[in-house]
Structure 1
């Protein structure tokens, strides 16, 4: 029974680790797609900011490029949310609801067996 509990706990930890990797992969893909297109759209303003940076120049540069501003805001917001989520999990630990959700998902993976896409990363 004890071996089963330690195995289950390890599988829950593996699933949590995969969740962390998945979130950072998502953020990386956002920066490589939306972030790079947004930065490319405001490249002329960035060149001006390098020479003469003022908060007014930043404000008007972002104001006159609303799609780039939205894209950068979305990338920065998602990065900040993943950082805060991971920091909370490291400092305080997983909340009970999150732990329960992970445990239910591991049970579902075990129940479905080798046909589940995460089986080889969680159970083997």
Structure 2
């Protein structure tokens, strides 16, 4: 026999599931924004300093561009080259990660990690730094 409280309970459960999924989605969005913010900060700090370190080579490349000039300019300026490599590598890494998530969806392992993180945020409550962005 079906009790009258049972449909109401399933609606509450569905509402909780929907809320939980929305919170997981918000946390994923925060992760995406955080990664792009990190890349932007990298470019504004390390990237600009690296380009400043290569300013003489860049001026030469503007006048007489050859791939050999680029190769030697980067080879003889290892620290700015490393800085640019870090910036380019992180940018490409975030691009590939986000493209994979867009094309094939979030992997089950990543979903599980996000769900566990949302549960930890819920358990800690308003004292968690991400509470107001994820749960409200």
What TM-score results when the alignment is normalised by the length of structure 1? 0.99
| 1:82 alignment partner, one of 68, 81, 94 | 94
| Alpha-carbon distance between aligned partners in 2 of 1:77 and 1:116, rounded to the nearest angstrom | 31
Deviation at 1:86, TM superposition (A): 0.2
Q: After superposition, give the CA deviation of every residue in 1:40-64 in whole Å (9 maximum; x if it has no partner).
A: 0000110111111101000000011
For structure 2, the 5+ residue unaligned runs are 1-12
State the secondary structure of the residue aligned to 1:94: coil
| 1:27 alignment partner, one of 32, 36, 39 | 39
Name segments (4+ residues, structure 1) moved above 4 Å. none
Residue 48 (structure 2) aligns with? 36
What TM-score results when the alignment is normalised by the length of structure 2? 0.90
For structure 1, the 5+ residue unaligned runs are none
Deviation at 1:37, TM superposition (A): 0.3
